[in-house]
């Protein structure tokens, strides 16, 4: 009796495990396939993007005529033996060939990337603008939020915690509320059509980052500061030489979040930037899509991939800090 | 106030001065100004003209305003609960003793890192009515997929799907909370013969309820301001303006029609809506939230 019960129990465990893996694998396939489909499309020749049913492996149809290999853009079947092919190297020209002469070769079209960059026109400018903004906003956010968070956690002053509630309250304000007045403010300063509105504000310590860093600073024992004060260290020196080095993991998280936020921002650049050469990658990608319409999907996916890849690269270089940072926002929030 | 207290106060204010500047120039000043603009006729080019509550009364009779509000509420009503459930399901699965957890976690998290504009591009292609991957896969299992982005009935579900794909951040937050649930609670429940479903319902969910609440509020605030997907994928509204969301209509009023006063009034209403919904959500759930310690 007892034996049967444990066997039953074990079998149940196995079924449970099987279900967990089954669901996880199915879910993973669903989550990863849009990214793989982007990659696959980005590497296809244009005619293959419109093939039905969709194919995952980029292939190029080719025909061999007189020992010379030609890329084929379209194949029309005439009968069981022959077909008409459209040659890529001489547009408009068709040749009737034996169907066996046509082969399909695995051929990732790497040149799609350079051609996508070319047809986006200002890609190098987009990239430069985005990087400038990322660097400036990361410097601005990390330095100003660290200062403010220090003021809210490591110094006792009258009314501090009440003022901190105000920090939290400002997080509730949705961007559209400040959007119009900020636009008219920046307009009166002559900043519309420049990058300034997109980075100057980052030097004013955003509430979320102050909150995140304060949580971390509070965890550092107060004795450390007190003994330094007894030794006559100034407050700024304690901040700079003792607290900041200890808070490095949290600073990295804030820097990463800001980098991502700036790289991804769409509404800000959409509102403040007017000339194409000032666009960021996110805005430039949307501009490219609205210009080229819904035909050149291989270029659009290649361009999208170029916008996504740096983020994925940064993520893989700093996965641990990232995951810790995101966990921190929820658990301590 | 003693001398050292005064010194501390000055020092504290000095450290938080970047935040004070931001609060005054980039928050308080614009917030108050936008309240003023909401009672004005204002097109940025000429000075604002006071028109009383006209912007607010105009909203009542503006059908497009109500449509955009309705679209946003429908979107939120599906995207937020579905997102919360899907990410909790994934987090619970990832929290099992399994091999390759970090690989699975990375796969589920990766889409949430993709910039929103690129997300829009990818799904624009996947939802494509003619060559789209999604309908091709659906047809393989015998379903004749709809024209996601040209059929007014399907634009909102399409945008909900893209938002669900980006749920990885929420998964990570849940996962961290799940790992803090004391193991002995599960062990005790197992001894008592509790089924996995019961353990989820009676231990896991109560123990992580503060985090569920946090994710819900964040989801609510984000969903009510949803912009990029609709703006990029559907050119700001889609067929029959079926996916014209509140933030998109607000943006159009401000920067397309230069009705900045009207846009400010809409923004204030959005603000009040967020506060109201957060309050309602808090009232409805506070009894069920279990704060440990």
What's the pLDDT score for residue A172? 86
- The highest-level CATH class for domain A122-292 is mainly alpha
In this prediction, residue A14 carries a pLDDT of 81
- pLDDT value at B291 more than 90: no
Report whether pLDDT(B246) > 90.
Answer: yes
**pLDDT for residue B222 is more than 80:** yes
Block residue for tokens 């509790």? B194
Percent of chain B with pLDDT over 70: 99
Residue A113: count other Cβ atoms within 10 Å of its Cβ. 16
Of A167, A172, A180, the CB nearest to B19: A167
Query: Residue A333: its pLDDT value, please?
Result: 43
**Structural domain boundaries of chain A?**
59-107, 122-292
Backbone angles phi, psi at A79, to 5 degrees: -145, -165
Q: Check pLDDT > 70 for residue A5.
A: no
Rounded Cα distance between A165 and B122, Å, is 40
Widest CA span in chain B? 80
B8 and A304: CB-CB below 8 Å? no
Average model confidence (pLDDT) across chain B? 92
Interface probe, candidates A174, A257, A286, A307, chain B, greatest B C-beta count within 10 A? A174
What's the average model confidence in pLDDT over B18-39?
96
Would you call B34 and A177 a contact, using CB atoms and an 8 Å cutoff?
A: yes
pLDDT at B244: 96
Output phi, psi for B3, to 5 deg.
-65, -40
> Which DSSP string corresponds to A268-299?
HHHHH--SGGG--HHHHHHHHHHHHTTS-HHH
Separation of alpha carbons B16 and B14, rounded Å? 6
Chain B residue nearest residue A9, CA to CA: B193
Q: How far is CA A316 from CA A256, A270, A313, in A?
A: 12, 29, 5
CA of A303: how far to CAs of A55, A263, A309, B113, B121, in Å? 20, 15, 10, 17, 10
The residue of chain A with its CA nearest to that of B9 is: A157
Q: Which two tokens stand for residue A321?
A: 């800090």
pLDDT beyond 50 at A217: yes
As a CATH number, domain B70-262+270-288 is 1.10.3720.10
The Cα A35–Cα B110 span in angstroms is: 9
Kindly state the tokens that stand for A297: 């999907």
């Amino acid at each position: 009796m007892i034996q049967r019960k444990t066997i039953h129990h074990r079998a149940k465990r196995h079924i449970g495990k099987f279900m967990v893996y089954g669901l996880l694998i199915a879910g993973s396939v669903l989550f990863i396939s849009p990214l793989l489909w982007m990659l696959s499309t980005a590497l296809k020749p244009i005619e293959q993007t419109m093939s039905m049913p969709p194919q995952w492996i980029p292939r190029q149809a080719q025909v061999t005529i007189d020992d010379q290999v030609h890329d084929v853009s379209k194949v029309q079947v005439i009968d069981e033996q022959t077909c008409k092919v459209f040659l890529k190297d001489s547009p408009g020209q068709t040749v009737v060939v034996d169907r066996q002469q046509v082969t399909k070769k695995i051929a990732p079209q790497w040149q799609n990337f350079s051609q996508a960059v070319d047809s986006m026109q200002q890609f190098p400018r987009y990239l430069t603008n985005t990087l400038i903004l990322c660097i400036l906003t990361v410097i601005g956010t990390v330095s100003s939020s660290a200062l403010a968070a220090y003021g809210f956690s490591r110094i006792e002053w009258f009314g501090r915690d009440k003022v901190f509630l105000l920090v939290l309250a400002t997080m509730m304000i949705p961007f559209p509320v400040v959007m119009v007045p900020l636009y008219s403010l920046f307009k009166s300063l002559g900043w519309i059509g420049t990058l300034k509105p997109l980075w100057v504000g980052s030097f004013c310590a955003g509430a979320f980052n102050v909150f995140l860093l304060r949580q971390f600073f509070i965890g550092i024992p107060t004795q450390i500061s007190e003994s330094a004060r007894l030794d006559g260290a100034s407050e700024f020196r304690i901040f700079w030489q003792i607290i900041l080095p200890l808070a490095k993991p949290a600073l990295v998280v804030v820097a990463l979040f800001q980098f991502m936020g700036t790289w991804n921002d769409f509404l800000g650049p959409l509102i403040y930037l007017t000339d194409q050469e000032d666009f960021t990658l996110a805005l430039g990608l949307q501009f490219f899509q609205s210009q080229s319409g819904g035909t050149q999907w291989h270029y659009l996916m290649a361009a999208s991939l170029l916008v996504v890849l740096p983020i994925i690269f940064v993520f893989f270089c700093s996965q641990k800090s990232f995951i810790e940072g995101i966990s921190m926002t929820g658990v301590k929030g | 106030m003693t001398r050292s207290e005064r010194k501390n106060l000055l020092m504290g204010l000095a450290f938080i001065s970047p935040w004070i500047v931001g609060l005054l120039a980039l928050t308080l000043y614009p917030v108050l100004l936008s309240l003023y603009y909401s009672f004005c006729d204002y097109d940025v080019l000429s000075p604002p003209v006071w028109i009383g509550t006209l912007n607010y009364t105009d909203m009542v009779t503006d059908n497009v305003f109500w449509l955009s509000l309705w679209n946003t509420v429908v979107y939120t009503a599906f995207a937020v609960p579905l997102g919360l459930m899907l990410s909790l399901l994934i987090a619970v699965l990832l929290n099992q003793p399994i091999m390759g957890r970090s690989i699975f976690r990375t796969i589920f998290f990766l889409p949430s890192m993709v910039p929103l504009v690129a997300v829009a591009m990818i799904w624009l292609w996947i939802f494509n009515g003619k060559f789209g991957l999604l309908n091709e896969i659906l047809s393989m299992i015998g379903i004749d997929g709809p024209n996601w982005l040209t059929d007014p009935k399907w634009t909102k579900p399409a945008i909900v799907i893209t938002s669900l794909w980006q749920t990885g951040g929420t998964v990570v937050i849940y996962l961290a909370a799940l790992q803090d649930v004391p193991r002995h609670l599960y062990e005790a429940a197992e001894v008592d013969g509790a089924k996995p479903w019961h353990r989820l319902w009676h231990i896991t969910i109560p123990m992580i309820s503060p985090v569920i609440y946090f994710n819900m509020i964040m989801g609510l605030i984000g969903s009510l301001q949803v912009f990029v997907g609709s703006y990029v994928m559907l050119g700001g509204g889609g067929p029959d303006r079926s996916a014209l969301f509140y933030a998109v209509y607000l943006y159009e009023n401000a920067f397309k029609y230069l009705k900045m006063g009207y846009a400010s009034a809409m923004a204030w209403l959005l603000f009040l809506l967020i506060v109201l919904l957060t309050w309602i959500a808090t009232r409805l759930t506070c009894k069920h939230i279990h704060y440990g310690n």
